[in-house]
Amino acid sequence: MSVKRSKTESTYISVDPKEASIKEVHQLLLGGVAPRPIALVSTISKKGINNLAPFSFFNAFGANPPIVAFSPSRRGHDGTTKDTLNNLREIKQCVIQAVTHDMVEQASLSSTEYEPEIDEFIKSGFTPIPSDLIKPMRVKESPFHMECEVLQIVPLGDKNASGNLVICEVIRFHFHPEIFKDGIIEPNLIDLVGRNSSNYYTRASGEAIFSITKPIGKKGIGFDNLPVFVKQSHVLTANNLGQLANCESIPSQDEMDSFVNSTGTTADTGDIYISSFIFKSLDEMIPIAVTRWKNKHDEAKDFLEITAKKALDNKKPDVAWKLLLLSNRE
């Protein structure tokens, strides 16, 4: 790979895609645009042969009408087009199914370049079931299907590895009720996989899943309004600062006073060290930290900042703000 020094930042390696090989450019995209959802695409040839292949250059682009798109590229080694694209040029319909952890090996198997006469449902061991509105079959093993009509195929070049954007309108959704909870497809129930660089995949469930509170219709104060002492904290992370900047206001003097007055004090025995303090619960930490501040303890600021971080980790930014403001008060 022909590597350049970034003109603006010496810590980056900069690459001109025109000077790199196709493989290198492909790997940069695979690694940096990741994890990508995987579309397991079912098509049918004019002769009636079922075709199945996974595509991770894939996403959704609108809800009204529901639009999804994926890109079957020309083959990297000889520039020929893939069976999926050839089929779609003839019969402009496909089913896109989600790929879950239980079926990822079979989905990977379906990426094998079998000849167009081979039914890839049979090769990959997936069970074909009929669609409601279109000719291509659905994959029974997937809990989420989209029957699609192709609106447009946009060639993105005519060389080896050039993409072909297939833009589809979803005309019917199908999903298993078991993946649905409280009005949404629940990530731990559907257990999707995503594609990363090389042979790497991501399993989108368990510890990989977390939530970020982003209440609709509110405007956070922004990073620029964070006090300097907060930005310079050695305890808070960039994500913690983001949570604080996402709050609409900083607690007022009155709110601070009532927080201090309403927080019960504890007997400060002097034998609580930071090393044991960090393992306590937020409810135990707050009175200890506030008591140390009231007693002008040498390490009161550290105790308050660590407690503020715990409050942020517990998604209580309002409490964190109060603790932080206190840490800066005499």
Ligand X SMILES: Cc1cc2nc3c(=O)[nH]c(=O)nc-3n(C[C@H](O)[C@H](O)[C@H](O)COP(=O)(O)O)c2cc1C
Report how far Cα 172 is from the mean position of its chain's Cα atoms. 25
Rounded to an integer, what distance in angstroms lies between the CA atom of residue 314 and that of residue 309?
A: 9
* Dihedral sign, Cα of residue 45, residue 56, residue 106, residue 127: negative
Q: Which residue, 117 or 330, is less far from ligand X as judged by CB?
A: 117
Contact criterion met (CB below 8 Å) for 88 and 150: yes
Phi, psi of 208 (to 5 degrees): -75, -15
Q: Which residue, 12 or 200, is less far from ligand X as judged by CB?
A: 200
Beta bridge partners of 192: 100, 204
Shortest Cβ distance from residue 167 to ligand X (Å)?
Answer: 14
Rounded to an integer, what distance in angstroms lies between the CA atom of residue 123 and that of residue 121?
A: 6
Shortest Cβ distance from residue 246 to ligand X (Å)?
Answer: 34
Q: Which residue, 39 or 286, is less far from ligand X as judged by CB?
A: 39
* Dihedral sign, Cα of residue 85, residue 86, residue 92, residue 98: negative
Q: Which residue, 44 or 286, is less far from ligand X as judged by CB?
A: 44
Shortest Cβ distance from residue 223 to ligand X (Å)?
Answer: 36
- Residues found near ligand X in the complex (CB under 6 A): 38, 51, 53-57, 71-73, 82-84, 108, 111, 113, 195
Q: Which residue, 195 or 322, is less far from ligand X as judged by CB?
A: 195
Q: Which residues contact 93 (CB under 8 A, 6 or more apart)?
A: 43, 44, 134, 135, 136, 147, 148, 149, 150
Shortest Cβ distance from residue 79 to ligand X (Å)?
Answer: 12
Q: Which residue, 26 or 297, is less far from ligand X as judged by CB?
A: 26
Q: Identity (one letter) of the amino acid at 203?
A: R
Shortest Cβ distance from residue 281 to ligand X (Å)?
Answer: 43
Shortest Cβ distance from residue 172 to ligand X (Å)?
Answer: 22
Residue 215 has which token pair? 């209440």
